[in-house]
Amino acid sequence: MSELREIRGAPQDYDALLERIGDARFVLLGEASHGTHEFYRERSRITRRLIAEKGFAAVAIEGDWPSAARVNRYVRASGGDTSVAMALEGFERFPAWMWRNTDVLQFAGWLRRHNDALPAARRAGFYGLDLYSLFDSIATVLRYLERADPAAARRARERYACFDHFAKDSQRYGYATAFGMSKSCEAEVLAQLVEMHSRPGDQGREPDERFHAEQNARLVRNAEEYYRTMFSAHVSSWNLRDSHMAETLEALALHLSADAPAKIVVWAHNSHVGDARATEMGEHGEHTLGQLVRQRYRGQSALVGMTSFHGSVTAASDWGGPAERKRVRGALPGSWEALFHAAGVRNFFAPAAQFEERRLERAIGVVYLPQTERMSHYFHATLAGQFDVVLHFDETRALEPLEGVAAQTGEVPETFPAGV
């Protein structure tokens, strides 16, 4: 291996990385798990420099749009929350620790302080790309229309009433429609989205407010399809989710580009940030956000992956379970992580182009149960095609949720889903 740049925790650590990023409009910063302190900390360090030195206008996360919107209002000094911790309370859905943790708390606090020194038009925002917030987004659309157009609100309420007998349980809706136990709400959510897009401008209302409502209506349409397919077609539901994130990123970029093309940082798992065409998931027909960004914005993106060899992680033992602090086993022989460990440099980044072999790569989502580690957490990938740059941290530790975590546990069998 060559061109390894050691990461020492110094201010100049990422000078070469920012030079390599150059004028890219979209910088996608990955992570090999949703519960590792170093990944969040280093994404924050890189993002601060991108915002302060390169004029990036927003951070877009693998999180729900309505929850991130509350943080966005706080960091732009336009909401009612009086502290970062209050603004992060919107992240209630499992896994809450993914965004309600001390690293995000510190970053959002920095972003508020940075923005406070700038005029409103130049303040950087915080947005969500994911589509799990079906019922929260319905409520947001209705609140907006009740203020802007009560007649339109009544029509929207009638359409969204299609979901009423599912008790705000999106997976229950998906199961019932996938197996023919209930009719789908596809026509209703599409009709509502069409009406939202065709509405004339609302007098006296901020463009951001209308954009926020339209994004929630789009989310409802895409989430309805996602939950309807998740029980019958894994590849289709994965592709719907990453397509939604790509659509949202594109819409956000257009919205923020009134004066000049906006630059956006994305925080998401390696499994979304990386280009699927260089992985075995791509061979199975899956595509990813990183792939779609590369295809849509040729030459305007930088995909950055992160790996680690061993340490600890905050993760659950089952979907919906409590956060636990778990030991992460040393990476398997023959993996990229094992190769990087053997290099003898504790923390570094390097151009991915030199890693042209096909090797195992580890992915830990919100569930980590090491007894079935090879089957559950590894896939084959060629880093040279998957990323532009790779960051490696040899020993990492679990991030700290704002709420407590369960005691460290032993190893028990893996369960579905892994949650990346």
Q: Which CATH number do you get for residue 353?
A: 3.40.1660.10
Cβ atoms of 34 and 61 within 8 Å: the answer is: no
Query: Based on the domain organization, do 33 and 100 belong to the same domain?
Result: yes
Same-domain pairing of 206 and 136:
yes
Shared domain check, 383 and 273: yes
Would you say residue 253 lies in a domain? no
Question: What's the one-letter identity of residue 213?
Answer: A
Tell whether 420 is covered by a domain.
Answer: no
Asked if the structure places residue 329 within a domain, the reply is yes
| CB-CB contact of 75 with 108 (8 Å) | yes
Q: What is the pTM of this model?
A: 0.94
Residues 196 and 271 in one domain: no
Do 84 and 187 have their domain in common?
no
In a domain, 351, yes or no: yes
- Whether 403 is covered by a domain: the verdict is no
Statement to judge: residues 121 and 170 lie in one domain: no
Same domain, 310 and 347: yes
Same domain, 122 and 269: yes
What does the DSSP assignment read for 33-74? -SSBHHHHHHHHHHHHHHHHHH---EEEEEEEHHHHHHHHHH
- Is residue 226 located within the same domain as residue 279? no
- H/E stretch holding 153 reads helix 150-160
Asked if 224 and 185 count as a contact pair (C-beta separation under 8 A), the reply is yes
Residue 415, domain member (yes or no): no
Could you read off the pLDDT tens digit of each residue along the chain, which spans 420 residues?
778 999 999 999 999 999 999 999 999 999 999 999 999 999 999 999 999 999 999 999 999 999 999 999 999 999 899 999 999 999 999 999 999 999 999 999 999 999 999 999 999 999 999 999 999 999 999 999 999 999 999 999 999 999 998 988 998 999 898 888 889 999 999 999 999 988 876 655 677 899 999 999 999 999 999 999 888 766 788 999 999 999 999 999 999 998 889 999 999 999 999 999 999 999 999 999 999 999 999 999 999 999 999 999 999 999 989 999 999 999 999 999 999 999 999 999 999 999 999 999 999 999 998 889 999 999 999 999 999 999 999 999 999 999 865 444 333 222 333 457
Q: How many domains does the chain have?
A: 2
Evaluated on CA atoms 389, 390, 393, 396, the torsion sign reads: positive
Q: Are residues 270 and 364 in the same domain?
A: yes
Shared domain for 233 and 318, answered yes or no, is: no
363-394 burial, b for 16+ CB within 10 Å, e for fewer?
bbbbbbbbeebeebbbeebbbbbbbbbbbbbb
Q: Is the residue at 404 inside a domain?
A: no
In a domain, 247, yes or no: no
Q: How far apart are CA 244 and CA 231, in angstroms?
A: 18
Parent domain of 67: 5-129+263-396
388 and 272 housed in the same domain: yes
Of 212, 242, 272, the domain-final residue: 242
